[in-house]
């Protein structure tokens, strides 16, 4: 099963504030996420995820799952991108520990000064870059000195920049969950003019790559599916007062409806409200293969 061999699929994943309202415990999001990862790797794809280094977060959950299932794989199935704000906030020892834990199944790159640089833990510390441009850092002081020599972006600009960079190395994107800017829920606040999942969806559609919103578990992914006319407005989940920039972000993605091929809409509508774990994950893989084939066919006629 290699229908997506050589393809890189970016995942946009975070918990949704309305998940429980839809009747799902957090473990169901994990189940869906692990099913998607398992199936995508099984059909030959690489997974790209830009996330933090929280040992209890989605990043570690993904590569621990892949490590248990695909430790003997010939290629690393997971590309983890570390955004600049995360990199600047982590200690040298913390970064080394994270890199060593995921070494078997994870290829890690850091995003800084508009570059995606490979980074790995070596016997005497860290190695950053390729070939003659490689840098070795042996301790926290050298790490901080290296960082301080780099131009620093504010966090909003840095996160937007890494989302653009990830889009540039991806063949497709899958959305699950996502912050919604609920004002009565401080943990649901997002930085910038829109939630990250919405911005990533907009970038994917603008770039002409497949973007599949999985809305069963709520969040910005569900609202994106509604805005793109993949789900009907009747699937809208009532919520409290939101950040004033949230509706405008949905207006922006709605302008990209024509980027979704009509031939894909029935499959995307079914997937957008599917919570079945592995069957849903295989549906995602099938939809990505079909959409990429449609794209290739359209390019051949241009």
Count of C-beta atoms within a 10 Å radius of residue 15: 20
The pLDDT tens digits of the residues spanning 70-105 come to 655 567 788 999 999 999 999 999 999 989 887 778
Q: Which domains does the chain have, with CATH numbers?
A: 8-301 (3.40.50.450)
Q: What is the pLDDT of residues 213-224, one digit of tens each?
A: 999 999 999 999
Percent of residues, the chain, with pLDDT higher than 70: 95
- Strand partners for 10: 48, 173
Nearest to 28 by CA among 222, 231, 216: 216
Residue 172 phi, psi (nearest 5): -165, 165
* pTM of the shown model: 0.93
Average pLDDT, the chain: 92
Please check whether residue 228 is in contact with residue 257, taking contact to mean a CB–CB distance below 8 angstroms: yes
Contact indicator for 19, 177 with CB cutoff of 8 Å:
yes
63-74 confidence digits (pLDDT tens): 777 776 665 556
């Amino acid at each position: 099963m290699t229908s997506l061999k050589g393809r890189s699929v970016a995942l946009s994943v975070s918990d949704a504030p309305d998940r429980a309202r839809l009747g799902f415990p957090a473990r169901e999001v994990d189940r869906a996420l692990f099913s998607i990862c398992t199936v995508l790797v099984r059909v030959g794809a690489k997974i790209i995820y830009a996330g933090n280094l929280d040992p209890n977060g989605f990043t570690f959950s993904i590569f621990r799952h892949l490590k248990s299932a695909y430790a003997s794989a010939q290629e690393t199935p997971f590309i983890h991108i570390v955004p600049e704000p995360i990199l600047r906030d982590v200690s040298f020892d913390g970064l080394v520990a994270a890199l060593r834990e995921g070494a078997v199944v994870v290829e890690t790159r850091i995003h800084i000064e508009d570059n995606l640089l490979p980074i790995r833990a070596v016997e005497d510390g860290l190695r950053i870059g390729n070939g003659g441009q490689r840098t070795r850092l042996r301790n926290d002081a050298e790490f901080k000195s290296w960082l301080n020599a780099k131009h620093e972006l504010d966090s909003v600009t840095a996160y937007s920049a890494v989302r653009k960079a990830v889009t540039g190395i991806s063949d497709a994107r899958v959305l699950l969950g996502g912050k919604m800017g609920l004002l009565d829920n401080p943990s649901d606040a997002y930085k910038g003019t829109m939630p990250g999942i919405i911005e990533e969806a907009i970038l994917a559609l603008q770039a002409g790559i497949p973007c599949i919103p999985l809305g069963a578990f709520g969040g910005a992914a569900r609202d994106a599916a509604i805005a793109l006319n993949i789900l009907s407005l009747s699937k809208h989940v009532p919520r409290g007062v939101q950040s004033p920039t949230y509706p405008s972000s949905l207006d922006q993605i709605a302008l990209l409806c024509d980027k979704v091929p009509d031939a894909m809409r029935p499959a995307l509508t079914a997937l957008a409200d599917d919570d079945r774990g592995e069957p849903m994950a295989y549906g995602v893989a099938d939809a990505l293969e079909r959409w990429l084939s449609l794209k290739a066919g359209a390019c051949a006629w241009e």
